Amino acid sequence: MDTHVTNAYQSDWTLYVDAIQVVYNNQVNVATGQAPNMLMFGYLPTTTLQIPAIDAESSYSRDQQRSAAERIEHLQLLRQEAHDALVFGQFTVAMYFDKNHTIPPFKAGDKVYLKLAKKHTPGYAVPGITCRKLGPQRKKAPKAKKTAKTPTVPTRKSARLA
């Protein structure tokens, strides 16, 4: 199926939306195995208008009522099959996820590390922190403040010892 429509004029794209929608809804869905129009209406509509000739004198006979009931039954069967296919798809994805992912063995009170994102790598983005790990870190002793040294004048005792 085409994913886009190319046109010489960009101002008349609204004329093609209905036709594109019909074509898109007539495509078979991989998960359900049916087209959305088939599930909704029981048939695949075409892009051309097809109206059967109806006589003014005709009325619904018992055969037509029976075929309408069969059509409704068939439509309900298609919808049930689509629902079952979706449930099965969800189940298989859940099984695949459960098989490949385990619950982390953390307990309440355990120390954990967070992997931080750096540019395009996955992780938690924390502004202002550039390290790759964030977690329990030892508290460092505060650094001694540097003070301006004042020149000391040697006393007599210190001058004699030197």
Contact predicate 115/133, CB 8 Å: yes
Bridge-based pairing of strands 114-115 and 133-134 is antiparallel
Which CB contacts under 8 angstroms, 24+ apart, belong to 45-49? 46/22, 47/19, 47/22, 47/23
Residue 29 domain-assigned?
Answer: yes
Residue 5 domain-assigned?
Answer: no
> By CB neighbour count within 10 A (0-12 exposed, 13-18 middle, 19+ buried), where does 91 fall?
exposed
The pLDDT of residue 47 is 58
Q: Provide mean pLDDT across the span 111-126.
A: 65
Residue 139 domain-assigned?
Answer: no
- Domains held by the chain: number: 1
Which carries the bigger pLDDT value, residue 63 or residue 39?
39
Residue 148 domain-assigned?
Answer: no
Q: What are the φ/ψ torsions at residue 144 (nearest 5 degrees)?
A: -70, 140
| pLDDT (tens digit per residue) in 17-51 | 777 788 888 888 888 888 888 888 877 776 554 44
Residue 44 domain-assigned?
Answer: yes
Separation of alpha carbons 25 and 37, rounded Å: 6
Which carries the bigger pLDDT value, residue 81 or residue 49?
81
User: Residues 103-124, buried b or exposed e (16+ Cβ, 10 A)?
Assistant: eeeeeeeeeeeeebeeeeeeee
Residue 113 makes CB contacts below 8 A (sequence gap 6+) with 133, 134, 135, 136
Residue 20 domain-assigned?
Answer: yes
Domain with 67, as residue range(s), is 13-49+61-100
Contact predicate 44/35, CB 8 Å: yes
Residue 120 domain-assigned?
Answer: no
Q: Tokens 């006393």 appear where?
A: 155
Residue 36 domain-assigned?
Answer: yes
